[in-house]
Amino acid sequence: MYVEWKRLQKTGLRQLQVSKIKMYEQVKHFRVYCSNVIPGLFQTPAYAEALLSSIAAFREAPNDVAQAVAARVARARLLHEGNHRFAVLVEEWVLRSRIGNAEVMAGQLGHLLAVMSLPSVSLGVIPQDAQRLMWPVEAFNIFDDSLVQVELLTAEINVSQPSEIAQYVRGFNHMSELAVYGTAARQLIAAAISELG
């Protein structure tokens, strides 16, 4: 259940990205809450490179960032194929947290605008000024209703206990009610792009 990143990434970051492909291919309803970065499935190569480079450096992992980026970006094909649904929530400050330089962020935010128009994707942005009925928590992914993966600074936690999964689903649903979608979400993304100056 609790696996340290040090163990998962001891041979580099690529293997971890590749190891998740089958699970992503099998999931039908994928729910993601990201309080810190743009979710992996929505990342551009430049954003993924900036993020994974900082992760590799911080965790002192072998530098196979180019291969890890290719594996991460390749998973995005699932947004266009198969019978998958992706419900994704991000905190507004994620749009303004610079991973890479202004050009990388502008490209990433532009890509986010494109991805949110896909029929398989529902993207909600939780505005910074939303009155919180649910506090921001750690990033997590819900795979159907059978597994939750929680990302901590030092480890990944895999939750398979039905009562705990139910709490994550409930938390996701509460945060969904705080989020804005469609035009309102696009306006927040466009505002973040315009602030890059």
Instruction: Read off the pTM.
Output: 0.94
pLDDT of residue 60: 87
The sheet carrying 155-159 orders its strands as 2-4, 155-159, 147-151, 140-143, 29-34, 85-91, 121-126
Count of beta carbons in the 10 Å neighbourhood of residue 156: 17
For the chain (197 residues), the mean pLDDT of every run of 10, in chain order, is: 80 84 92 97 97 92 90 92 94 97 98 97 97 94 97 93 98 97 98 94
- The tens digit of pLDDT for each residue in 97-152 reads 999 999 999 999 999 999 999 999 999 999 999 999 889 999 999 999 999 999 99
Give the residue extent of every domain in the chain.
Answer: 2-194
Per CATH, which fold does 2-194 belong to?
Endonuclease; Chain A (3.30.870)
Could you tell me the CA-to-CA distances from 114 to 43, 109, 118, 123, 171 in Å, in that order?
A: 12, 9, 7, 11, 27
